[in-house]
Structure 1
Amino acid sequence: MSALTRRGFLEKLGAGSVAASLPLLLPSVHAATAPYNGPKLNVALCGLGNYARMLAEGLQASQYCRLAGVVTGHADKAAAWQQQYQLPPQNIYNYNNFDGIAHNPNIDVVYIVLPNFLHKPFTIRAAQAGKHVITEKPMATTAADCEAMIAACNKAGVQLAVGYRMHFEPTQQEIMRLGQQKAFGPVRYLEAGLGYKTYNLADANDMVDINDDTQWRLHKTKAGGGPLMDLGVYCVQAARYVLGEEPVAVTAQFGPVHHAQRFTQVEESITWQMQFPGGAAANCTSSYGFNIDKLYASADDGYFELSPALSHGPFTGKTSAGILNIPPINQQASQLDAMAQYIINKQPMPAHINGSEGLRDIRIIEAIYKAAQTGGVVKLV
């Protein structure tokens, strides 16, 4: 551990301060035994940026969902998407007339793919319109906003899910199994890192350049934070789902700033440590200043690792027993199909993908920021 030894961490944490953790269960993915021929969920994508195009491809491949509508503030995008996907004009909305979606029986789910600060208001508006909601991660910019989103969906009687696609990706499911079922014994140490200087959300011709000062990710009021909020959530998730435990305390350190004129509102890099009740320690990093995409776990009787690990893949890795070689899938289609089955079957979303999971991540992220600002140990209860 940087800045604080593991022994010092535990001494600061103190005996008897370890709170009971909530196990993170392996995801229960509904495996289709035959092609699905029933009614599909009609999904409207709210926000038509880079990742929305990947979701649109996933919807084309989905058995249980279809792209039925879009919500955008750009008339040119609305026209292009309407033509490309043959969407009926009554299913095209802008941010001003969005609430009229309440009167459209041909939209079942609103999938929010907007900048982070807009997740809360559009989740609440969609819920009040009687639509189920999937929102991209991070769920919101504050834990208080997450709580308001959960309350609004509960009040409206609609489901709220967070776009945790990794929970339905087979390589990630295998590392969940290796960690949670202690295939190589208990995991004692874990490293996770995700960072990009210029990162690719869709394809080689569609780059998001963090060096562009107009990027909303560089503005704290819009993003909620820097790479920790945007990319570090994947590291937090990986540590939690590999161990199947919730962290009980964190320490953190902001990294050096190499571009002071650009990073005036959010961090350029951050490293943090999480302590888990079973005794495992995780050391994680996220950055807009350097490239990293890895996961490594050391257990009593072996190890496992991935690189690429936390991006869009394809994921590659190995264990002390051999190579991990699991064929890639359409991650968005897999996520959408699994979530859709809960809605179609009128079953509640499981905790590992619903709003409570998003809230847990944001509470941990808030604790990490507090630890970096204060230089102390922040306990999680």
Structure 2
Amino acid sequence: MRTRREFIQHLTVGAGILPFAMSTDAFGMSSPSVYIPQVQDGPVLKVALMGLGSYADRVAKAMQDCKRAKITGLISGTPSKLQSWGETYNVPDGSRYNYENFDAIKDNSEIDAVYIITPNALHHEQCLRVAAAGKHVICEKPMSINAKEGKEMVDACAKAGVKLLIGYRMHFEANTLNVVNMRKNGDLGDVKFFQGLSGFKIGDPTQWRLDKDLAGGGAMMDIGIYAINGARYMVGEEPIWVTAQEVKTDPVKFKEGVDETITFQLGFPSGAIASCLSTYSMNYLDKFFLNGDKGFAEMQPSTGYGPIKAWSHKGDITLPHVTHQTTQMDQMAAIIHDDSKPQIPVDGEEGLKDMKIIDAIMLAVKSGQKVKLDLA
């Protein structure tokens, strides 16, 4: 029996980074519709993980299956985590840092890049420090708490001559790319409508995600960004206006500046529209729906850790599940070392566009007016 990795390799053609695969529609007709992410052999990206919380744990475990990325450094404010993680992932004492002394990575040749996986409000300062140390930056989304900080991050990395990549794992997920390619190939016709539902019922009221000073907001920063980003790559255009409405049912749990539920609408140059929901008060909301004048594609779950489930007017989309963070880190190694170009961008400019949209959504909530967008 083949492993998932072997199955994907079997589908590849040559040594290209994004080889063709075939899909079968509801009438049994095969047609080329997707490129499955596949990296060429090459230098291994040596990564320091910053912020050793639950998501970093998921990333670290996924990286054990990477071909071209490995953990070579750790940054944390908790000494016991540095000790236990160092032993688990064979990171020597000299490559373990805290938040006060991590600027010393400048002199560590065993670190090429730092993956920032800390609370949102810390990303900006930490990114600037990593860039100043001459290391590439991989930053978890959202890249910052507003567009101003995001632009400063982009500029700092450009000035330092290092790459800034954002942790958009879905940009490399095979079923997602299948739907995007269906749209590009004209299978859906002219896109008219996108729906993105992103939400879950949040638990512990004392966690950092409900602390405005650390999170920079509430559900929109954490989960709503998936619908924002998804609308852009699914429709294949940049929005030119936004309207938005907020509902708050629990002002004790969701204090001032921490959004509970926001519905928002995006308008695109072609006339396509998007209707989206971001919430911390409802479960079972992980759905994308893309509608054109010739067909549709639907995904549910659409952005969870997988497996992603998708189907269209042509039938089920059933490409094999590979751990998202494994694919992401291998692909980011290729971007940094090979200057490869992903089908959907993951650079700092991509992250900045999402921050501009979030800023506009919050302005639309406050003003009750349609807000124009300029993402150029």
TM-score of the superposition, structure 2-length normalised? 0.87
Question: Of the candidates 261, 277, 299, which is equivalent to residue 285 of structure 1?
Answer: 277
2:250 matched residue in structure 1: 259
Structure 2: unaligned runs, 5 residues or longer: 1-32
For 1:72-221, what aligned pairs fall within 5 Å after superposition? Answer: 72-197=76-201, 210-221=202-213
1:300 matched residue in structure 2: 293
Q: Deviations over 1:101-157 (max 9, x none)?
A: 111111111000000011111111111111011000001001110111111111111
- Is residue 2:319 matched to residue 1:319? no
Q: Deviations over 1:172-209 (max 9, x none)?
A: 10111122333121121111011011xxxxxxxxxxxx
Identify which range, 298-307 or 173-182, moves more after superposition: 173-182
In 1, Cα distance between equivalents of 2:342 and 2:179: 22
Cα distance, 1:336 vs structure 2? 1.1
Question: Of the candidates 289, 307, 310, which is equivalent to residue 303 of structure 2?
Answer: 310
Cα distance, 1:56 vs structure 2? 0.6
Distance change in 2, residues 1:174/1:27 (3 Å): closer
Amino acid paired to 1:326: L
- Is residue 2:43 matched to residue 1:39? yes
2:358 matched residue in structure 1: 365
Q: Deviations over 1:260-317 (max 9, x none)?
A: 2111131110000001111111000010000111111121122110111122121112
In 2, Cα distance between equivalents of 1:215 and 1:67: 27
In 1, Cα distance between equivalents of 2:92 and 2:35: 35
Contact 1:69 1:92 in 2 (8 A): yes
In 2, Cα distance between equivalents of 1:249 and 1:221: 28
For 1:223-238, what aligned pairs fall within 5 Å after superposition? Answer: 223-238=215-230
Aligned length: 340
Cα distance, 1:31 vs structure 2? 2.8
Contact 1:253 1:270 in 2 (8 A): yes
- Is residue 2:373 matched to residue 1:380? yes
Contact 1:27 1:167 in 2 (8 A): no
RMSD: 1.9
In 2, Cα distance between equivalents of 1:173 and 1:104: 37
In 2, Cα distance between equivalents of 1:173 and 1:241: 10
Aligned identity (percent) is 41
In 2, Cα distance between equivalents of 1:122 and 1:303: 42
Amino acid paired to 1:117: A
Structure 2 residue matching 1:61: 3-state secondary structure = coil
Amino acid paired to 1:230: D
Distance change in 2, residues 1:369/1:302 (3 Å): same
Cα distance, 1:349 vs structure 2? 7.9
Contact 1:135 1:163 in 2 (8 A): yes
Q: Deviations over 1:52-75 (max 9, x none)?
A: 011112221111111111100011
Distance change in 2, residues 1:312/1:263 (3 Å): same
